[in-house]
Structure 1
């Protein structure tokens, strides 16, 4: 299970998984965290004690991504066998199994009203599929990208931003699938994206070791962040909109100003290996970071900045 370490001055650590953790996400109310990975399970646990609450065994293969529904009642989780499971967060009961993808489903995201899900496929179908969350009715498929890594619904409008193994991010109408703009600021695969909480900007990061912030309406680059020394695999915007945290193969968690790109904190001691997922608590005071078999909870003292 987890280490009984309450979040305080230093980082707490959850060690309930038996293999590498690829995804971590706070619940909308901040009372629970869900994490999943190579042990084929999703764990729900208490961030104040690192005590496990529930284990979901509904995946036959490695869990790649997960997302809480906006009301916190459900979780959508995806795996390497092409399945997306929608299930109750309190009981683990499966509501629906979506089978539209062929193989790796690297990304899942809920619409802001909690009725639809976007899921992105890697090897096999190279597409984002949009479908109804509770009955799996397929609405449309958005193609044109090779090996989709991220597909995120805008928090305030019916738009989706998706990134891939190519060097671009596409933004499109979530209702119709109609293409709106393409961001071409990167020079390699784009592994991670994050919408600003107000939906006006997008942060993207990837193989070129850079993170960019750009205008979601016209694709204009607003800020370029160059402090990482290796591939960036994860990026997350604080819910208050003020900060970004990014991490990846250099094992260093960094926090920086979302307006200026100024580095505020570089934390190299939390993890010894690649960091694969990041998530802020809803009140922007704690960062969860996943690497190997553990998740660290790192208190963020916003008042210092």
Structure 2
């Protein structure tokens, strides 16, 4: 017997007689079968090896604007700077290149640019909200205490100048910009513009009803004009130096209302919207999508079987098919229910999307048209998976059942075959044998069961499945992956795993915001790994592109982010 862990003790027991390893999660025994070729020489005392390659953050998809303001700026380097999750992104639109600042440990909520246009301040939750003063020597911060203390700091000396409590009745000034001549312009929750004279606190001009509803974004342009962005009316308005309306346009409803506006080169403007998108263009020529984001947590992340493409889907009912080369969606589709899982047919021509209501749908990946829609139970579909030969589709549900379908016509014709009953808790993960002869499932109470898809019966013979070669490794419980479980985890802390297609690497996604990279198979207790952050909340899924050039991760909570990591 060998054991590991402290506090929450997790024993790992190796039985030479049975050819098995048994670990314990929350007191539940989890027996795992050792392949015959490994059993004679297997030892729990063998040290695991670190993988020979590592991950480097290559691209961060998405943008956080739904609950933030004034967080998009254009730099003299030609980059726009913004944030999402705990990552500050510097994005060169012209070169299609990103740089990343990864020093934060939790969600960034605010960003300010020093007048020198080189120094950038960012503030994270449970910390301070920072906004640079016009002179550049002082920094304002508002904390999240009950009194919401406003403090002014000499940031270079790291000393506090003054602090003050909040007003009992908040003033709904939503945005502010400083004009070249020294005047200050503010926008409020009533959609009004106020101009405050230089050096005083008196209002010199008012534009009532500049927008229908709250006015969230203001940007003073180099030519002396002013751009404002509204909330409810979704309008962008260009104002003259005398505050007469020169031009206006309405932002497409799909992008959401404007949150912030930044001036780029020439007449180019960048706008952040409440649907976590960044638009690029001008009031004269219109705007196009530059950065696409989700607005709620993501759960589905299947990679295309033969192309540099992948799908994301989640609580916001959006399904995106992405190109990893252009970093833009090839198409997007809104579905009726929040999505929970997704999977490609081996041909890549059909995509299955499982939802939280028990419904699942088939989409044509070329046209994104609906091919079919089915319902199995009334609980969420946690996993959908086609067999490697394309002959079967299995649907794992939170009703503890796995529904099995036969597949014809490249995934376009589905026929119900039966259901697999035997789990005493909801289905969490599923993997297929390389020859499609069987599949294995994990459940919420840490069971590992094996199934024959042709009969929908459980395979109870250990010898029948001990030496099966699995085409994927998405199950978080199994001999080939149990080394991912470290001390202190409770059995629900690891959300997803995936191995590379060459079978050498294993990546895990956990509730602590971390991505781990292990060598595969990962069958030693507390296996060594490379660890990566950048995700401030739980990481919901992980996948490798078809050619193993990239690893992909998604996160949950309130502003989902998709990150791609280059293998090097």
TM-score, normalised by the number of residues in structure 1: 0.80
Residue matched to 2:562: 295
The question of 1:96 aligning with 2:362 is answered no
The question of 1:265 aligning with 2:542 is answered no
Match of 1:274 among 522, 532, 538: 538
- In the aligned structure 2, how far is the partner of 1:299 from the partner of 1:100? 38
SS, match of residue 307 in structure 2: coil
Task: Extract unaligned runs of 5+ from structure 1.
Answer: 1-7, 184-195, 206-210, 215-221
Shift in alpha-carbon separation, 1:242–1:109, aligned structure 2, 3 A: same
- In the aligned structure 2, how far is the partner of 1:140 from the partner of 1:22? 26
Task: Extract unaligned runs of 5+ from structure 2.
Answer: 1-54, 63-292
Can you list the C-alpha shifts for 1:62-102, whole angstroms capped at 9, x where unaligned? 10000011011110001011111111011111111112332
- In the aligned structure 2, how far is the partner of 1:182 from the partner of 1:251? 38
- In the aligned structure 2, how far is the partner of 1:286 from the partner of 1:22? 18
Match of 1:138 among 410, 416, 422: 416
SS, match of residue 224 in structure 1: helix
- In the aligned structure 2, how far is the partner of 1:267 from the partner of 1:66? 25
- In the aligned structure 2, how far is the partner of 1:131 from the partner of 1:240? 29
Q: How many residues align?
A: 266
Residue matched to 2:299: 22
- In the aligned structure 2, how far is the partner of 1:278 from the partner of 1:236? 6
Judge conservation of contact 2:500–2:544 (CA < 8 Å) in 1. yes
Match of 1:52 among 329, 339, 342: 329
- In the aligned structure 2, how far is the partner of 1:169 from the partner of 1:107? 15
User: What is the CA distance between 1:236 and its match in structure 2?
Assistant: 0.4
Larger Rg: 2
User: What is the CA distance between 1:149 and its match in structure 2?
Assistant: 1.5
Judge conservation of contact 1:204–1:213 (CA < 8 Å) in 2. no
The residue correspondences of 1:106-185 to structure 2 (distance < 5 A) are: 106-122=382-398, 125-133=399-407, 134-145=412-423, 146-181=425-460
- In the aligned structure 1, how far is the partner of 2:472 from the partner of 2:300? 23
- In the aligned structure 2, how far is the partner of 1:258 from the partner of 1:72? 26
Residue matched to 1:236: 498
Can you list the C-alpha shifts for 1:254-283, whole angstroms capped at 9, x where unaligned? 010113554241112x21110011101122
Shift in alpha-carbon separation, 1:234–1:290, aligned structure 2, 3 A: same
SS, match of residue 539 in structure 2: coil
Match of 1:42 among 311, 319, 325: 319
Q: Aligned Cα RMSD in Å?
A: 2.5
Judge conservation of contact 2:362–2:371 (CA < 8 Å) in 1. yes
Judge conservation of contact 1:118–1:152 (CA < 8 Å) in 2. no
- In the aligned structure 1, how far is the partner of 2:435 from the partner of 2:513? 32
TM-score, normalised by the number of residues in structure 2: 0.44
Can you list the C-alpha shifts for 1:157-184, whole angstroms capped at 9, x where unaligned? 321111111121101112112222489x
Residue matched to 2:349: 73
- In the aligned structure 1, how far is the partner of 2:299 from the partner of 2:313? 6
Judge conservation of contact 1:254–1:263 (CA < 8 Å) in 2. no
The question of 1:252 aligning with 2:530 is answered no
Shift in alpha-carbon separation, 1:250–1:228, aligned structure 2, 3 A: farther
The question of 1:213 aligning with 2:479 is answered yes
- In the aligned structure 2, how far is the partner of 1:226 from the partner of 1:141? 31
Judge conservation of contact 1:74–1:89 (CA < 8 Å) in 2. yes
SS, match of residue 11 in structure 1: strand
Judge conservation of contact 2:343–2:384 (CA < 8 Å) in 1. yes
Can you list the C-alpha shifts for 1:27-84, whole angstroms capped at 9, x where unaligned? 1123211000010121011112211111122x32210000011011110001011111
SS, match of residue 479 in structure 2: strand
The residue correspondences of 1:195-214 to structure 2 (distance < 5 A) are: 198-199=469-470, 204-205=475-476, 212-214=478-480
